[in-house]
Amino acid sequence: MKKFYLSAAVIAASLALPGLPAMAQTNEITVGITISTTGPAAALGIPERNALEFVPKEIGGVPLKVIVLDDGGDPTSATTNARRFVTESKADIMMGSSTTPPSIAVSNVANEAGIPHFGLAPFPITPERAKWSVSLPQPIPIMGKVLYEHMKAHNVKTVGYIGYSDSYGDLWFNDFKTQGGPMGLTMVAEERFARPDTSVAGQVLKLVAANPDAILIGASGTAAALPQTALRERGYKGLIYQTHGAASMDFIRIAGKAAEGVLMAAGPVMDPEDQPDSALTKKPGLALNSAYEAKYGPNSRSQFAGHSYDAFEVLKRVVPVALKAAKPGTAEFRDAIRQALLSEREIAASQGVYNFTEKDRHGLDDRSRIILTVKDGKYVLTK
């Protein structure tokens, strides 16, 4: 397991030593982050980690101590990491994880401990997780609606679905039933696959045999390219829709020519250049992409980098408010952050404009979504 510290001067990596007591620090805010920098979700977690190089090192004059642990996409490891943040690091804030199942695990620990939690993957925020957790990525209903509207506008009537055999796949399947069905879309085939799978040949044969007008893929990271490639190899010529969980250059790299023409929901961070100057998401999106691509190369921008970056954009607004009420390292400070998340409005970030409420723990609206396609190996905006 790797542990990363971000200080005011440098970002360094070192091995975490189990059982080592946390150093007692004064006048600093401790942020514990568990993400998937190895394993099937590494294509999500690595950009999330990389983006931390471009976030503030202090807020409101108070230094940030940021501790990053790898959970490999495993809910059990994510739970262990989260409990270490509570018991060893005395974290004021927790973030993570990169995919849905471990994000649920972190949320459970955060709500048990009374620590503000910023999810970096879409996950269901049930009443027992609602007090302390918010989710930075766009909720599935917002992203789903724009895809279903596109389907309707392009005369799609029948849809096949292939998604993960876990909670992320369930979220998209259920959303299609909730929103797509009433819009006149009929699901004629449903298939699932596990994140580590290396073949979906059997599932794709069934989907192609059903011959739907379009296919929706409920997957994330590079694994989302697996059914995309298999469908085109098997001769499927209909429209293929991908979720915002696939919005990265790695998807194009893995899918290759099969990525051409895909229709993908994404956040505005993937194309801030084409936003009007009045868009509140334009400035933070340009700032992140400029810094990220200067270090990691042209077109390396990522939907997932935006999630971790935006968590700190939110903190830039809520931490100064919380500092007026209490000092870091106290239960009062953690509760003050929770309250500030409810009181601050129109928090501009690269992926959307956040307005959290006690009932809306995503806080986003239609300003948080665009549709991309792939043309000549590059993402371009489409309608």
**Mean pLDDT, the chain, whole residue set:** 93
CA distance 120 to 172: 17
**Angle of the 282-296 helix axis to the 42-51 helix axis, nearest 10:** 100
84 close to 69: Cβ distance less than 8 angstroms: yes
Q: Which CATH superfamily, name and number, covers 2-138+298-366?
A: Response regulator (3.40.50.2300)
The pLDDT value recorded for residue 249 is 87
* Residues 18-56: tens digit of each pLDDT: 433 344 434 899 999 999 999 989 999 999 999 999 999
Kindly give the parts of the chain with pLDDT less than 70: 1-26
Q: Domain segments of the chain: what residues?
A: 2-138+298-366, 140-266
Question: CA 225 → CA 108, 296, 315, distances in Å?
Answer: 31, 22, 34
The pLDDT value recorded for residue 266 is 96
CA distance 108 to 128: 8
CA distance 180 to 283: 33
- Report the 3 state secondary structure along 284-349: HHHHHHHHHHHHHCCCCCEHHHHHHHHHHHHHHHHHHHHHCCCCCCCHHHHHHHHHHHHHCCCEEC
Provide the 8-state DSSP code for 139.
Answer: P
The pLDDT value recorded for residue 8 is 37
Paired strand residues for 214: 159, 239
Provide the 8-state DSSP code for 129.
Answer: G
CA distance 166 to 152: 27
Q: Residue 239: which of 142, 155, 140 has the closest Cα? A: 155
* Residues 223-260: tens digit of each pLDDT: 999 999 999 999 999 999 999 999 888 899 999 999 99
Question: Tokens 């077109």, residue?
Answer: 299
Q: Residue 79: which of 60, 100, 53, 105 has the closest Cα? A: 105
172 close to 216: Cβ distance less than 8 angstroms: yes
Other C-beta atoms closer than 10 Å to the C-beta of 327 total 15
Strands (E), the chain: 2-6, 11-15, 29-35, 58-59, 62-70, 93-96, 117-119, 133-135, 158-164, 186-193, 214-218, 239-242, 263-266, 347-348, 353-354, 370-375, 378-382
Q: Which residues of 26-38 are buried (b: 16+ CB within 10 A; e: fewer)?
A: eeebbbbbbbbbb
The pLDDT value recorded for residue 82 is 98
pTM: 0.86
The pLDDT value recorded for residue 18 is 40
CATH 3.30.420.40 fits 140-266, yes or no: no
34 close to 81: Cβ distance less than 8 angstroms: yes
